[in-house]
Amino acid sequence: MSDATAIPFIEQIKAQAQVLVPLIKAFEAELGTDRARAIARNALAGWMRDFYAQMRADIDNPIDLIAAGLPLFADQALEYDVVQQTPDAFDFNVKRCAYAEFYKTLDEPDLGFLFVCDLDRAMAEGIGDDVDFQRSQTIMQGADHCDFRYRRR
């Protein structure tokens, strides 16, 4: 992050969880788990797509935006290895994730996936239809690493 006084993203996620977890639990009690989570997923995905569509407006290559943005999310939260970075591809593996660690301390990794990991696909969609995103596993869901694969179409 360029502003030394800015709040690290992991701390923002922790603050959001204080509101989102009890809110989704209340919605689940009223609407059922599947319906409540579907509503939350759609709302959050729409917000994320719009946010990244605005960010993409001034950037030609989606891979540049993704690679430049990774340090924002990684700051104090992720340990990762870049597997490949070219103008047409950006691949990295996350080997430690403080987001997953945090949601596991809450005993809510499913909500962590909903509120954090599931937004990666919406982010890629917002960046544009000229980028493909693939991920076959996440630490949040019990894997030993997350495998992020981005391709420019």
106 found inside a domain = yes
Q: Does the predicted model carry a pTM greater than 0.85?
A: yes
Supply the CATH number for residue 45's domain. Answer: 3.30.1380
Does any domain span residue 78? Answer: yes
Q: Quick check: is 27 in a domain?
A: yes
pLDDT digits (tens, 9 = 90+) for 77-124: 999 999 999 999 999 999 999 999 999 999 999 999 999 999 999 999
Length of the chain (residues): 153
Domain count, the chain: 1
Query: Is residue 3 one of the residues assigned to a domain?
Result: no
What pLDDT shows up at residue 76?
Answer: 87
Ranges 1-15, 38-52, 98-112, 138-152: which has the least confidence: 1-15
Q: Which domain holds residue 93?
A: 9-152
SS3 144: coil
Q: How many angstroms separate the CA atoms of 11 and 84, rounded?
A: 29
Mean pLDDT, residues 127-144: 97
Domain annotation covers residue 49: yes
In the prediction, which pLDDT does 72 show? 85
